[in-house]
Amino acid sequence: MDSYSRESDYINDHPAVLAALATIPAANGLDTAVMHRTFDTINKVWHWETTWGWDYPLMAMTATRLDLKDRAIDMLMRNVQKNTYLPNGNNYQDNTLRIYLPGNGGLLSAIALMCAGYDGYKGTTPGFNPESWKVKWEGLNPMP
C-alpha cells in the first residue's frame, strides 16, 4: 500500500518526514525535488484533525526552504482547530489541552526563518511573497 494513500495509517499525527528540511539545511544528498513532492502530497492527503500545533510551523518552515513563499503563509493560516491561538496567545489543542507550548515555539521559529532566512539564502524574507507582504523585522539571525 502507498504510504500516502487516504487509507494509510501513516497520514495521521505529525507529518514528521518534513522535519528533514524544516529545521536543518538541505545536506547529505537530501533531494529537494522529492521533498517538494512529499510536501505537496502531505498537504493534499493528511488527516489534519489528528495533527498537533507545531505541525503547521513545521510545514511553513519546509515551504520556506523549498521557496514556496505563499504556501508557507498558507500553512500558518490553515483553519484547523489545533492551529488556533487563544486571545492570550496560547496555542489551543482541545478543551483538555488549552496551552500547547510546542505550537507557540514552532510559530516563533517559523516566523524567524521566514523573516531572517537561513545560511546561504541570498534574498530577503524568504517566507513572504514581496508582492503580497511588506514585512519589517529586526534582531533575528539566519538559521543554519
pLDDT in tens, 17-66: 999 999 888 887 889 999 999 999 999 999 999 999 999 999 999 999 99
Q: Among residues of the chain, what percentage have pLDDT more than 70?
A: 99
Q: Measuring CA to CA, how many Å separate 28 from each of 14, 21, 31, 62?
A: 23, 11, 9, 17
Calpha distance 4→42 (Å, rounded): 7
The answer to whether 117 touches 126, Cβ cutoff 8 Å, is yes
CB distance 58 to 82 below 8 Å = no
Show the cell assigned to 81: 482547530
Average pLDDT, the chain: 93
Specify the 3-state DSSP secondary structure of 64.
Answer: helix
- Percent of all residues in the chain with a pLDDT value above 90, rounded to a whole number: 85
Could you report the per-residue pLDDT of 100-114, keeping only the tens digit for each?
A: 999 999 999 999 999
